[in-house]
A and B are shown apart, each in its own frame.
Chain A
Amino acid sequence: MNEQGYDPSAPLVPSGNLRRRRLFSLLAEYAATAAAVAAVAVLAIVVYTVVSRGASALDLDFLIKGAPDGIGPELVGTFVIVGIGTVIAMPIGVLVALFLTEFAGNRATHLIRLTLDLMNGLPSIIIGLFVFGLLVNHKQQSGIAASVALAIIMVPLIARGSQGVLLLVPGNLREAADALGVSRWRAVLGIVLPSALGGILTSTVLSVARAAGETAPLIFATSVFDPSSYSLNPFEALPNVPVRVFQLSEEANPEGFAEAWGLSFVLVSLILFASVGARALLARSRRKLAS
């Protein structure tokens, strides 16, 4: 061995080629870590800016008064629009998920999943054009039209999320129901849905968080409104947060910017709060179902 240049007393450290390879590997690791740090840093910068510029405007008057002193009408309008959207989207989403897990054959499953993927990938501005053509053109803008647009965005999210949870419902629960002669619909309503309820609710909340900030469809559905007065009537254009932020950001007006930062702060905190909470709950209910 020794005549081949092997020195057993030499320390075991990489040399030559191996050292280069290890160094390259290490650099790659650093680069990957740096990418993750950069993403988190961008999030931190955006959230910090929104909080530092938005929080100062915030007090009770700002939350309940109309423009130019406050953002009450927009908040209420967004709640109404998103609320109606959820009421439309949640049953449809859950039923589609039930169809996928309980009834659909292979081909139907494929078709529906493709449809949901396409709906999910559809640019939201296209949904805006659709809603404009269907509900606004030759009529008038309305909160309902905005809700329908948001519902189209939410349905695929709710359906795929619910499907994921429904698939986790233990098979032996269904088998036990079958063995007792329980009919399909009783089993679904009495056993499957209740045990998946937590997951269904959290994926609904996540989709609400996504829909609440959607702006593009609302430009078509409800953009001509009076931000100084409250309106609860969904059959007319409703003031809402995203479109107002968009409008204010297009005007070069410092007071408008201050109002927009305040709106952004409220919207971002609601959305982040909802999605963090929902994710925590989702993880818990999945663990419970999976165990």
Chain B
Amino acid sequence: MSTAASPSVLSPAARSRIRSGQRRKQLDRIGDRTLFGICLFAAVLCVVTIVLIGYQVVDGASPAISRYGLGFLTDTTWQPNFGQFGAGSLIFGTAVSSAFALLLGAPIAISIGLYLSLLAPNGVRGIVAPLVEMLAAIPSVILGFWGVLVLAPFVQGTLEPWLHGKLGFIPIFGAPETTGASIFTASLILTIMVVPIIASISRDLFLAVPHDVQDGASALGATRWEVVRGVVLPSTAPGVVAASLLGLGRALGEAIAVAQVIGAGSEIQASLFKTGDTLAARIANQFPGALTEMHKSSLFYLGVILLVIGLASNLIAHWIGRRFSYDAGVVR
């Protein structure tokens, strides 16, 4: 092939081979660019979607924002018939139900994470871990429906009277209502939802703690609990906090199941056993039958509040997670 430089002496077959090679090269360049282009397009589309979501929600809320301003956040009257709207009692209900769910759920979930990572025999772990994750797969509407028909009567008939009897001197455990629809029931449902999220992330965190450090602590005479308390928990604490924040974000934003069991009350009450409502649940309950444009816009305003809180908790979790390097609770 020493004559390759001068095409005139090439056989026709070789010449067509070179030409097809050139065509192929051209095709490859187009192919590479196209693939890059559509991948970039898809990625940009995601970013645009997030921005658009923010824009749409704020846009829908703008009449209410310009009419009520920030006073909306503290005003506790919500009377669509009189055109009066304020998010105060809903923010209260959201904060209380989510905080209680996290208070109850996080210790349970972290314990499950510890059990699955350090205690469970291999065979048991392979069964229990997917079962706990399956709890997260149950649709919220079905969990809420179960909450209405099974959990709420039990809570109202057994749990609340018992707590009221034992701890009734604390105002949050007031007298039970006639139905089981209460902030307490909603918190229990939310607990069921946040546990699998926090549990599976914290299990992964605990599994990543180096074994020689734990073995070292054991060799120095630490009991199993002391290893957990002294080595495992301190070294994973930021990740556990991030996991709890993700759980909190989930609890704050859950609309359907809460709407089903919380009873749609509009007052701020000390007792957990009274009805209440959350931002998300109010949107779900009232949006389809919204009376006026201002009513709709106020519901959008609730969405703005929810969006800000939700984004904040996710951003903090992401920020901690990035510094701490763990994989957020996405299906892996």
Contact = CB atoms under 8 A, between A and B. Distances in A.
Interface string B74-110: 0000000000000000000000000000000001110
Nearest to B143: A46
B276 interface: no
A10 to B, nearest CB: 18
A125 B116 CA distance: 32
Nearest to A28: B225
Size range of the interface on B?
35 or more
Nearest to A271: B137
B149 A99 contact: no
Interface string A96-140: 101110111000101110111111111111111110111001000
A121 to B, nearest CB: 4
Interface residues of A, number: 100
B331 A207 contact: yes
A135 to B, nearest CB: 10
A191 interface: no
B220 interface: no
A285 interface: no
B226 interface: yes
Contact of A216 (B49, B112, B128, B284): B284
A126 B256 contact: no
Interface in B276-316: 280, 283-284, 287-288, 299-300, 303, 306-307, 310-311, 313-315
A226 B85 CA distance: 32
Contact of B283 (A129, A134, A155): A129
B316 to A, nearest CB: 11
A145 B32 CA distance: 33
A130 to B, nearest CB: 4
A157 interface: yes
Given A39-B112, A39-B196, A95-B42, A209 B330 contact: no
Given A29-B225, A117-B328, A125-B303, A99 B43 contact: yes
B56 A28 contact: no
Interface stretch (A65-73, A169-177, A228-236, A272-280): A272-280
B53 A257 contact: no
A214 B114 CA distance: 30
* Of listed A39, A47, A268, A276, residue having the most chain B CB within 10 A: A39
A220 B287 contact: yes
Contact of A250 (B32, B150, B260): B260
Interface stretch (B6-14, B167-175, B207-215, B246-254): B246-254
Contacts of A25: 223-226
Contacts of B192: 42
A134 B42 contact: no
Nearest to A205: B331
Interface in A135-180: 137, 152, 155-157, 159-161, 164
B68 interface: no
A186 B35 CA distance: 10
Contacts of B29: 183
B165 interface: no
A200 interface: no
B131 interface: yes
Given A116-B46, A119-B46, A123-B255, A35 B112 contact: yes
B138 interface: yes
Nearest to A123: B253
Interface in A9-23: 21-22
Interface stretch (A56-64, A79-87, A241-249): A241-249
Nearest to B315: A118
Contacts of B142: 46, 50, 213, 245, 264, 267-268
Contacts of B284: 125, 216, 219
Given A25-B223, A125-B284, A186-B31, A103 B36 contact: yes
B73 interface: no
B42 A92 contact: yes
Given A122-B253, A203-B331, A99 B47 contact: no
| In the complex, the 7 A-B pairs of residues with the closest C-beta atoms, listed nearest first | A213-B139, A123-B253, A95-B42, A183-B28, A121-B314, A35-B111, A25-B223
19 contacts: A24-B223, A32-B114, A40-B132, A43-B138, A92-B46, A99-B40, A111-B47, A112-B46, A116-B330, A119-B50, A121-B250, A126-B307, A126-B310, A129-B56, A130-B57, A132-B60, A185-B34, A186-B31, A213-B138
Interface of A: 21-22, 24-25, 28-29, 31-36, 38-40, 42-43, 45-47, 49-50, 91-92, 95-96, 98-100, 102-104, 108, 110-112, 114-130, 132-134, 137, 152, 155-157, 159-161, 164, 183-186, 188-189, 203, 206-207, 209-210, 212-216, 219-220, 223-224, 242, 245-246, 249-250, 257, 260, 264, 267-268, 271-272, 275-276, 279
Interface of B: 28-29, 31-32, 34-36, 38-43, 45-47, 49-50, 52-53, 56-57, 59-60, 107-109, 111-112, 114-116, 119-120, 128, 130-132, 134-135, 137-146, 148-150, 192, 195-196, 199, 223-226, 228, 246, 249-250, 252-256, 260, 280, 283-284, 287-288, 299-300, 303, 306-307, 310-311, 313-315, 317-318, 322, 328, 330-332
